[in-house]
Amino acid sequence: MQNQLTLLRLLFVVFVVSISLAWIASATAQSGRRGKKSTTAEPASTPSPTPGPRKPDVEKDTVRFIVGIYRDGFSNIPLSYYTMVAHACAERLDQGPAVKVEFSSQNMTRSDAVNSARAAKEGFVVWLQLKVESLDNDQIANSLSQVYVEYTVLAATTAKTAASGHTYQQGYRKGGVVVNTPGTTRGNPVYSEQLLRQAGAEAAERILDTLKIEAPPPRRFGM
């Protein structure tokens, strides 16, 4: 009888141990399956940068000029006068805030001016001449006071005339009236030189005005 009770206790202990081991194995398996779930987070999307305001294209808005002058070899006008007038015109054009000037130091004929305009992609060619005011249309000046400036503006690619005209020697403008500088005489070489510089600058002013290009107030040359 005693042996049977011992055997039953032993069987009961084995049964309990077996149930415990089975429960532990089941719990471990379920925990392992839950641990296999992915925990990788999706990367956060980077916001695209907001485009800023477009900067103005200064180069694109700039008006370009090529300035040249025809030096007449049959005239008795000093060659330095041609260069002086052309420089005065180019400098006045270049004072415009949206203007870029290229000065041609070569003797520019009418044909040269037309070819330069047709070859240019944009802007204008300013062709200058010094003429003599004479009744018989003679280009030999009896006095330097007879010399005046003639200008022609040719548009790029087409070489069509965009502006033309002439400016004469005159004294300073004072209250809308032209006055001569005291102590000077019309025809005096030094005086005529200064007045021709002024005429070259005035030609530039008229060109800017005709083409509707803004420029600062004119600067008068000292005598």
* 38-74 pLDDT, tens digit each: 555 555 556 565 555 554 444 567 999 999 999 988 8
Query: pTM here?
Result: 0.66
List, in sequence order, every residue forming a beta bridge with 101; answer none if it has no partner.
65
Q: What is the pLDDT of residue 93?
A: 95
- Give the residue with greater pLDDT, 207 vs 58: 207
Q: What is the pLDDT of residue 65?
A: 98
Q: What is the pLDDT of residue 214?
A: 86
- Give the residue with greater pLDDT, 173 vs 14: 14
Task: Give the pLDDT band of residue 129 (cuts 50, 70, 90).
Answer: very high
Give the length of the chain: 223
CA–chain centroid gap for 6, Å, is 110
**Range with top average pLDDT, 39-43, 57-61, 128-132, 188-192:** 128-132
Per-domain residue ranges of the chain: 58-210
> For the domain with range 58-210, which CATH number is right: 3.30.70, 3.30.390, 3.40.50, 1.10.3470?
3.40.50
Q: What is the pLDDT of residue 26?
A: 65
Structural tokens at position 22: 């089975």
| 3-class secondary-structure state, position 198 | helix
Lowest-confidence segment of 7-11, 132-136, 139-143, 195-199 by average pLDDT: 7-11
Q: What is the pLDDT of residue 152?
A: 98
DSSP, residue by residue, 136-167 = T-----SSGGGEEEEEEEEETTT--EEEEEEE
